[in-house]
């Protein structure tokens, strides 16, 4: 019996070498019922947890994370061509300087991990700190395979005096992962269904008044008050009265931008996607898929329970109402009830505006340490990425970027570059709008400044969708936005964001220019621009990087590109690790 504590001590010492942190993520299929409905789903989890375990490191440390695939072997392929039980894990927002091999994108940086296999991500966390997360990057398995990734730094020491809570927002459908993927990519696809539940730290209570939006899915009938003894109830976050708390809020949602608020409590934003910003107080947040915030909350109200609530933002033709609820509990002398599951919410609820406002409060945020001068320089070039969706000849719906729907290559691009099996990109002057058709990528050249215009479109009379774009390997600066269709001659000099902040997710808001919608008094046919954002990237990180809409079904349907950055320098950077 004495051997066990000795072994544990040896393992702990081995895993805490100075400057090195090691973690294990063991991926399994577990049957879960996170919203206490009568639907039990078999879904992928990390270490049997939802959310997965928190990874916490210090800025500058070396990190080794071993992902092990404990899923059963299968001969079946999923909709993307990988094995249906293959996995890959991406460390979202981690820039992976000199370690693009650790980014976790199947067929760009690595082969997906087959059942029984493992892959160790080995990288340094360099020049960034704040709130990040990890999630699966195969199919739609990120719905449940995700967890927080926190980087502490010297610059954040003044914030460490605040106690904190990590809050992960996610979505839960009463349908299997594989059936969802097949529907999204199949000929029966009509629309992305609303999740049956929005979860806060992996829990909520299912509300049968919500529509069962998934075609052919079962419709749970169990009421919240009928939840069984195995139901964990609402997530409860305990606080002491008279303190200031830091809440790290992670948008781990698959599809919808989620409003987040706490009854009677304002939220003071201090961090976005790892960038510290000057404190800015709001009554609610708009948290897009992949977005992260840190907010300060002052607990100066009467000691009682307060409802933490969510709603659906930018939800076209569906109710904004959400069942994603939790509880902020002021601790009292009587804590005997604190360990019991909570099934009823306080009568107080946060309120959300009924009308969505394009661009929300983004133009009001300002970097804490000043705006990077790079936002005032002239770009090397501007690349417009115009997204459209249409049916293929066989009836499936795909998203196209500049008329190309992304398809995963058969071999990881990074592997071909390292093994000298891939030709060099064309020169920038030879590229048509930045795209190399022979490589199927958008080449970037060392230290050039590239402005990407993220152009949304729709067919007049149909909804204009919101698109949260995420850049791997880089944080970017959103420097401008506008309505309708971007035109370089008209809009090239627009700079309507006074103090661009560095972030890795930018939501392109629906922003229709109604003058563009009609021709001679009738609605135009074909795709018309309905909102754009311009983001700036400094190409300072050689590697193969995904850039995609973080609405996971949209990405799965082709709304993604690959950046091939300074391939001639990649091997040198990898060998220096």
| Separation of alpha carbons 441 and 560, rounded Å | 10
Q: Closest by alpha carbon to 99, among 120, 130, 69?
A: 120
- Please state, as a whole number, how many other Cβ atoms lie within 10 Å of the Cβ of residue 245: 18
**DSSP H or E stretch at residue 532:** strand 528-538
State both tokens at 460: 């007049």
pLDDT in the model for residue 230: 75
- Please state, as a whole number, how many other Cβ atoms lie within 10 Å of the Cβ of residue 30: 13
pLDDT in the model for residue 19: 85
pLDDT in the model for residue 81: 61
Q: What is the DSSP letter of 524?
A: P
| Separation of alpha carbons 52 and 50, rounded Å | 5
Phi (first) and psi of residue 328, to 5 degrees: -95, 115
β-pairing, 236-239 with 244-251?
Answer: unpaired
Spatial CB neighbours of 317, under 8 Å, sequence gap ≥ 6:
463
Q: Are 444 and 542 in contact (CB under 8 A)?
A: no
| Separation of alpha carbons 180 and 164, rounded Å | 35
Q: Are 206 and 222 in contact (CB under 8 A)?
A: yes
| Separation of alpha carbons 61 and 152, rounded Å | 10
CA trace torsion 362, 363, 364, 368 (10° rounding) = 80
Domains of the chain and any CATH numbers: 3-330 (2.60.40.420), 370-575 (2.60.40.420)
Rg of the chain over Cα atoms, rounded to whole angstroms, equals 23
- Residue by residue, DSSP assigns 347-378 as S------SS--TTTTGGG--BTT---GGGGSP
pLDDT in the model for residue 518: 83
| Separation of alpha carbons 258 and 263, rounded Å | 16
10-residue block means of pLDDT along the chain (577 residues)?
Answer: 33 51 97 93 96 96 97 71 86 96 96 96 95 96 97 75 95 95 94 95 78 39 47 94 97 97 98 97 98 97 96 89 96 68 92 92 96 96 97 94 93 94 92 94 97 96 94 98 96 96 97 86 88 98 97 97 95 61
Residue 272 bridge partners (DSSP) = 275, 293
Cα-Cα-Cα-Cα dihedral sign, residues 38, 44, 49, 53 = negative
pLDDT in the model for residue 340: 82
| Separation of alpha carbons 244 and 446, rounded Å | 44
Q: How many CA atoms lie within 13 A of 119 on its CB side?
A: 22
Q: Any idea how long the chain is?
A: 577
Q: Are 324 and 258 in contact (CB under 8 A)?
A: yes
Phi (first) and psi of residue 244, to 5 degrees: -115, 130
| Separation of alpha carbons 401 and 453, rounded Å | 12
State both tokens at 85: 């039980």
**DSSP H or E stretch at residue 11:** helix 3-15
Q: Are 201 and 308 in contact (CB under 8 A)?
A: no
Q: Closest by alpha carbon to 569, among 108, 64, 97?
A: 97
Spatial CB neighbours of 522, under 8 Å, sequence gap ≥ 6:
none
State both tokens at 68: 């092990």
pLDDT in the model for residue 75: 64
Q: Are 131 and 147 in contact (CB under 8 A)?
A: no
- Residue by residue, DSSP assigns 432-460 as BTTBBTTTTBEEE-TT-EEEEEEEEEE-T
- Residue by residue, DSSP assigns 202-215 as TB----TTS---ST
CA trace torsion 537, 540, 543, 547 (10° rounding) = -10
pLDDT in the model for residue 78: 58
- Please state, as a whole number, how many other Cβ atoms lie within 10 Å of the Cβ of residue 81: 14
Spatial CB neighbours of 451, under 8 Å, sequence gap ≥ 6:
379, 381, 382, 383, 479, 534, 535, 536, 537
Q: How many CA atoms lie within 13 A of 398 on its CB side?
A: 18
Residue 546 bridge partners (DSSP) = 562
Tokens 């059936």 sit at which residue?
179
């Amino acid at each position: 019996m004495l051997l066990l504590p000795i072994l544990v001590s040896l393992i702990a010492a081995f895993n805490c070498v100075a400057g090195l942190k090691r973690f294990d993520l063991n991926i399994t299929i577990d049957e879960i019922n996170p919203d206490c409905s009568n639907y039990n789903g078999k879904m992928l989890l990390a270490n049997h947890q939802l959310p997965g375990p928190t990874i916490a490191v210090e800025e500058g440390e070396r990190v080794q994370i071993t992902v092990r695939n404990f899923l059963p072997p299968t001969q079946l392929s999923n909709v993307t061509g990988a094995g249906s039980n293959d996995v890959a894990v991406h460390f979202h927002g981690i820039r992976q300087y000199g370690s693009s091999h650790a980014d976790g994108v199947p067929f760009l940086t690595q082969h997906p991990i087959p059942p029984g296999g493992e892959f160790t991500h080995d990288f340094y966390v360099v020049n960034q700190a704040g709130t990040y997360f990890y999630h699966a990057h195969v199919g739609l398995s990120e719905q449940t395979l995700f967890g927080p990734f926190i980087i502490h730094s010297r610059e954040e020491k003044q914030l460490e005096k605040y106690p904190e809570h990590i809050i992960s927002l996610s979505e839960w459908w009463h349908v299997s992962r594989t059936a969802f993927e097949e529907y999204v990519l199949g000929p029966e696809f009509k629309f992305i269904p609303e999740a049956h539940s929005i979860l806060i730290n992996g829990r909520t209570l299912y509300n049968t008044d919500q529509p069962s939006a998934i075609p052919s899915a079962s419709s749970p009938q169990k009421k919240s008050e009928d939840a069984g003894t195995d139901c964990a109830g609402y997530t409860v976050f305990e606080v002491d009265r008279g303190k200031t708390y830091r809440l790290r809020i992670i948008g781990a949602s698959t599809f919808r931008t989620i409003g987040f608020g706490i009854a009677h409590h304002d939220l003071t934003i201090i961090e976005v996607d790892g960038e510290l910003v000057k404190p800015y107080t709001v009554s609610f947040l708009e948290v897009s898929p992949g977005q992260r915030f840190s907010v300060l909350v002052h607990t100066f109200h009467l000691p009682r329970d307060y409802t933490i609530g969510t709603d659906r933002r930018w939800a076209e033709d569906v109710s904004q109402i959400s069942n994603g609820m939790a509880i902020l509990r002021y601790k009292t002398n009587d804590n005997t009830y604190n360990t019991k599951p909570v099934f009823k919410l306080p009568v107080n609820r946060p309120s959300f505006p009924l009308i969505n406002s394009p661009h929300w409060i983004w133009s009001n945020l300002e970097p804490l340490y000043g705006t990077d001068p790079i936002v005032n320089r002239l770009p090397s070039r501007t690349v417009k990425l115009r997204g459209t969706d249409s049916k293929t000849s066989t009836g499936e719906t795909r998203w196209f970027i500049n008329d190309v729907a992304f398809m995963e290559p058969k071999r990881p691009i990074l592997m071909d570059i390292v093994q000298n099996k891939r030709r060099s990109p064309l020169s920038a002057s030879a590229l048509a709008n930045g795209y190399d058709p022979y490589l199927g990528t958008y080449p970037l050249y060392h230290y050039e400044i590239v402005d990407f215009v993220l152009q949304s479109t729709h067919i007049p009379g149909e909804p204009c969708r919101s698109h949260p774009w995420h850049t791997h390997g880089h944080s970017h600066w959103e420097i401008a936005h506008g309505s309708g269709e971007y035109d370089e001659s008209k809009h090239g000099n627009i700079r309507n964001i006074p103090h661009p902040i560095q972030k890795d997710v930018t939501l392109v808001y629906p922003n229709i220019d109604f003058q563009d919608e009609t021709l001679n008094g009738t609605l135009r046919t074909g795709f018309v621009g309905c909102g754009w954002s311009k983001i700036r990237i400094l190409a300072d990180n050689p590697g193969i990087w995904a850039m995609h809409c973080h609405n996971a079904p949209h990405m799965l349907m082709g709304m993604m590109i690959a950046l091939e950055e300074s391939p001639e320098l990649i091997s040198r950077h990898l060998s220096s690790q």
